[in-house]
Structure 1
């Protein structure tokens, strides 16, 4: 009697394979080939066009060997998620970026983003599917990359509204939050050719819930969001000081 192959979780049904709920290393072989090919091409391209200097990245890699972390970063350009994700890909760390579901209105973007590990989120609702996907990713040892500012910040005069939720993901995944900052990925003052950006990315120390003030879950979540973003901006300001002229 022929044995029927059991399909992986999320593969059944009208929508086909569920890239959101399954681990990157568990993707079907064709999808893994696409993932690694695209990551290699982006790494090669960014190494030439956007040469990036990482600081304290080895500490982050060592930290996530057994369990993932929620990485929060300031957002100035579409350059920084590319160079950051492929930088960690080269160190065999899988990063799942959270992105706005509006991007999925663009067919090719939806096809590619999901195969590159992206998790779409509807910020206007309690998106339980995205929360659970991010929680499961952390449990597998993947990192979840979130830009709490929600949009690219183009200059220091632009109002910033920090979107919460990353602390809840970390708590659901029994993980921590790692503040990270970038400068040099954007050039709002047009001081150099835009095709020759030189990003500088600095990773901070992971923040555990156990070190935070608060007597209940709600207070702990609010304190994590406050402390994490405070440290993101502190790292950003340090980078600006260390690399004058980079924004």
Structure 2
């Protein structure tokens, strides 16, 4: 299937974004040969900075296969940004609504048209204290298994040194290097033609995230934690600790009240004895 032309809006966005990116960050880009020249595919990319969508888009733009990102629906509604998001073919995500699944349908349609859809499987900036990929959400696996398209794992590092997660100001000097490494397609054939259950999607997602993490290990020259950071489990553990603390506080307060009541009773008895 022929690939889609880059188009006016993507070229215009490149004219605006590439010069500051070239000035701000050096580039160590590898694995471009693994980006398919034709046909639809998915890239699964780790996310560690608000800058990295632009830096990564620059990388993939230079391969000639521009990515279609899934982005919050609010960005599509107004003004220049909305026009650019629509014009570059990005895919709106309607969270917590009846239209939430429309993004996956749109992603499937884009892949079947021969497009590249870029997924951040983590769904948000990593919360791992050392910047490693977290556990992933199942959207990329769902689209991949339904279309049987190639899934290209991509790891990136360096944009987070320019603008760390949740930081408000960039650290411009010294000039940072944006490292990108794209790997060969993830083998998901073991999951094809099976019932698309939550367990199957979870297992396929783990395979995808393991491939992304292995590439980031190669970039960083160190090993990732054996167990990926899981925000859901962390929230459960935080709620458990909070409940335990509240229980301890309630017990302590009850004991304090009981002690006070006992002291008051003893004092009352003494006063009564003195009165007689």
Instruction: Tell me the TM-score normalised to structure 1 length.
Output: 0.72
Is contact 2:135-2:209 (8 Å) kept? no
**1:188-225: CA deviation from partner (whole Å, max 9, x where unpaired):** 499x9336331101112212431459953325433221
Is contact 1:181-1:203 (8 Å) kept? yes
| Residue 151 (structure 1) aligned with residue 88 (structure 2) | no
Give, in angstroms, the shift of residue 75 of structure 1: 0.6
Cα separation, partners in 2 of 1:49 and 1:132, compared to 1, 3 Å: same
Secondary structure of the corresponding residue to residue 98 of structure 1: strand
Secondary structure of the corresponding residue to residue 93 of structure 1: coil
Separation (CA, whole Å) in 1 of partners of 2:136 and 2:63: 30
Counterpart of 1:182 (choices 152, 156, 161) is 156
Larger mean Cα displacement after TM superposition, 114-123 or 180-189: 180-189
Cα separation, partners in 2 of 1:66 and 1:47, compared to 1, 3 Å: same
Secondary structure of the corresponding residue to residue 47 of structure 1: helix
Separation (CA, whole Å) in 2 of partners of 1:152 and 1:88: 20
Give, in angstroms, the shift of residue 124 of structure 1: 2.4
Separation (CA, whole Å) in 1 of partners of 2:103 and 2:151: 17
Secondary structure of the corresponding residue to residue 64 of structure 2: coil
Is contact 1:75-1:149 (8 Å) kept? yes
Cα separation, partners in 2 of 1:86 and 1:110, compared to 1, 3 Å: same
Give, in angstroms, the shift of residue 227 of structure 1: 0.5
| Residue 199 (structure 1) aligned with residue 172 (structure 2) | no
Separation (CA, whole Å) in 1 of partners of 2:127 and 2:195: 37
Larger Rg, first or second structure (1 or 2) = 2
Gaps of 5+ in 1: 1-22, 27-31, 243-247
Residue in 1 aligned with 2:138?
A: 164
How many residue pairs get aligned? The number is 211
RMSD, aligned CA: 3.1
Secondary structure of the corresponding residue to residue 159 of structure 2: coil
Is contact 2:128-2:134 (8 Å) kept? no
Give, in angstroms, the shift of residue 161 of structure 1: 5.6
Secondary structure of the corresponding residue to residue 155 of structure 2: strand
| Residue 91 (structure 1) aligned with residue 66 (structure 2) | no
Cα separation, partners in 2 of 1:171 and 1:123, compared to 1, 3 Å: farther
Give, in angstroms, the shift of residue 183 of structure 1: 0.9
Residue in 2 aligned with 1:235?
A: 215
Aligned ranges for residues 105-116 of structure 1 at < 5 Å?
107-116=79-88
Separation (CA, whole Å) in 2 of partners of 1:105 and 1:197: 34
Cα separation, partners in 2 of 1:154 and 1:222, compared to 1, 3 Å: closer
Is contact 1:213-1:220 (8 Å) kept? no
Between Structure 1 and Structure 2, the one with more helix by share is 2
Give, in angstroms, the shift of residue 167 of structure 1: 1.0
Aligned ranges for residues 1-247 of structure 1 at < 5 Å?
25=5, 32-60=7-35, 64-104=36-76, 107-125=79-97, 127-153=100-126, 156=129, 160=134, 162-187=136-161, 188=164, 193-194=171-172, 196-212=175-191, 215-218=194-197, 219-241=199-221
